[in-house]
Homo-oligomer: A and B are copies of this chain.
Amino acid sequence: MKALERRLSGRREASLEELEEVQSELATLSLRELTSLLGRTSASRGAKILRLLPPERSAALFDALTAAHQADLIRALGDDKVVNYFGAIGAEDRVALLDHLPVEIAERLVRQLDEDDQRVTSVVLGYRKGTVGRRMSPKVPNVTPEMTVREVVGLLHDHVDELETIYTIPVVDADRSVCGVLRLRSLFRAADDDRVADLMEDASVFHAGDDLEDSARWLLSSGRLAVPVVDDDNRLIGIFTYDEAHDVAEGANSEDSARMGASEALRTPYLSTPVLRLVRSRIVWLLVLALSAILTVQVLDIFQATLEQVVVLSLFIPLLTGTGGNTGNQAATTVTRALALNDVRKSDILSVLWRELRVGMLLGTVLGSLGFLLATAFFGLGIGTVIGATLLIICTISATVGGMMPIIAKAVGADPAVFSNPFISTFCDATGLVVYFLIAKSVLGI
């Protein structure tokens, strides 16, 4: 595969002979290897690979990619091949892909679908982004409690190819309200004449307007394979499957991870993302953070007289601001993750406050004592006292603020991961410096 990567990365156009060689090499790769190959090359080269593969394989490969990556490839492919790929993927994946395409391309693609596919696609498109309705599969079988096992098996036999999942089967009343789910497993325990009513279990359902990320995480942690989706009148309109849920949760994890590192999530594999897009995903955050760091310049400006009198104070600035930032980030990271997993909710703000206050004081006591001893040894008792006391207070404030920020962010409807780490460092830096100089002035009497 290495040799193939090198060959594909050559700059000049390949000869016909070379193309045939590449084609026969591609034929030896598994779907897993092809996916990985596409994730490590630019969209234009990825498009070349798709063209060189037999139609069925290239459609399967396309289906295995993330929506944003698919969108890049569609732009690189031009028109002719695209319609086939688009028709071959499920309605819920199609909608995810449309979300990443410019409107004019999206509209043209939808128009070229057959009537039935247009209908199911537009049902899903009818729900807001970020809701379960937007990522459900709208094709579900029509199973009622009165049916026998034999009838259900017959129904599945006839429709298995159209259905996204047959492992969890919603059971509906005459008015299509969900009255239970039938796990395929139960069919194997049962006799042919048993009725669905006696085999089905209580159903958990999602409403089409439910929050996508929360629902996805719950489905995954519950170990379910799929959950029926109902509309406002409780009528069955689709099913949300674990593999969609996994894609959603993974996307959210990537986003949280990126935000905690103060950048935007890439959505396409790192090596296939153009450098300018990497810059774009980072520059805004860097600018915002650098501008807010001007606050620290101003704080130091205020205390410039103190600094001029005792220049040695400036030696500890990075150590103190760094420790404050680290303590704040630890608390923020922990609470952000707990919020994402629903272990902590907005109403827990006071419990979190009280826990982080204690944690911060304990951490501050340990670090402060150590700082006191070391600074006293090298710079004398005065400086030692200032450093020790500053560390104690900085750790307490930073842990508390760091723990609260993600919850406050969530309460005002912002992304906890955004509002936490990047801003916490800046906040802790500025607060820490004020604390530092106030303590220094009073202890050293300047």
Binding site for B on A (CB under 8 A): 30, 32, 36, 39-40, 64, 153, 156-157, 160-161, 166-167, 184-185, 188-189, 204, 218, 220-223, 225, 242-243, 246, 250, 253-254, 256-258, 260-263, 266, 269-271, 275-276, 278-279, 281-283, 285-287, 289-290, 293-294, 296-297, 300-301, 304, 307-308, 311-312, 314-319, 321-323, 325-327, 329-330, 332-338, 341-344, 348, 351-352, 355, 358-359, 362-363, 366-367, 370-371, 374, 395, 421-422, 425-426, 429, 433
Further contacts, 16 of them, CB under 8 A, given A221-B250, A258-B337: A39-B343, A40-B348, A221-B246, A225-B225, A256-B257, A258-B333, A269-B341, A271-B338, A271-B348, A275-B358, A286-B323, A287-B367, A290-B323, A296-B318, A314-B317, A317-B317
CA A371 – CA B300 in complex, angstroms? 17
| A282:B363 contact, CB within 8 angstroms | yes
A315-B301, A426-B322 known; A279+B363 contact, CB < 8 A:
yes
Whether the Cβ atoms of A337 and B257 lie closer than 8 Å is yes
Task: Pick the residue among B36, B153, B318, B327 that contacts A321 (CB under 8 A).
Answer: B318
Closest chain-B Cβ to A425's Cβ sits at a distance in Å of 7
Q: How far is the CA of A422 from the CA of B260 in the complex (A)?
A: 13
CB distance from A233 to the nearest CB of B (A): 22
Contact B318 A318 (CB under 8 A): yes
Q: Which chain B residue shows the least CB distance to A309? A: B311
A355 contact from B275, B301, B316, B395, Cβ within 8 A: B275
Lowest 3 CB-CB distances: which A-B pairs, in order? A261-B333, A270-B338, A296-B318
What is the copy number of this chain in the assembly?
2
Q: Find the B residue at minimum CB distance from A315.
A: B300
> Contact between B188 and A433 (Cβ–Cβ < 8 Å)?
no
Closest to A342 in B: B36
**Whole-angstrom distance from the CB of A368 to the nearest CB of chain B?**
11
Task: Give the CA-CA distance A319 to B325 in the complex, in Å.
Answer: 13
Cβ of A394 to closest chain B Cβ, rounded Å: 11
Least distance between A33 CB and chain B CB atoms (Å): 12
Contacts of A318 in B (CB 8 A): 293, 296-297, 300, 317-318, 321, 429, 433
In angstroms, Cα B257 to Cα A319, docked, is 24
The listed residue with most B CB atoms (<10 A of its CB), out of A188, A276, A374, is A188
Across the interface, name the chain B residue whose C-beta is closest to A308: B311
**A293 and B322 contact, CB distance less than 8 A:** yes
Residues of B within 8 A of A184 (CB): 166-167, 184
Give bound CA distance, A260 to B336, whole Å: 12
Within 8 Å by CB of A314, from B271, B307, B327, lies: B307
CB-defined contacts of A185 to chain B, threshold 8 Å: 160, 166
A363-B223 Cα distance, complex, nearest whole Å? 44
A271 to chain B, nearest CB (A): 6
The contact of A263 among B64, B289, B330, by CB within 8 Å, is B330
Q: Could you list some 27 contacts between A and B, CB below 8 A? A: A32-B218, A64-B222, A160-B185, A160-B189, A161-B189, A166-B188, A220-B246, A246-B246, A250-B341, A254-B337, A254-B341, A257-B337, A260-B333, A261-B421, A270-B343, A270-B352, A286-B326, A286-B363, A289-B322, A290-B326, A297-B318, A300-B318, A307-B314, A311-B311, A314-B314, A325-B425, A326-B422
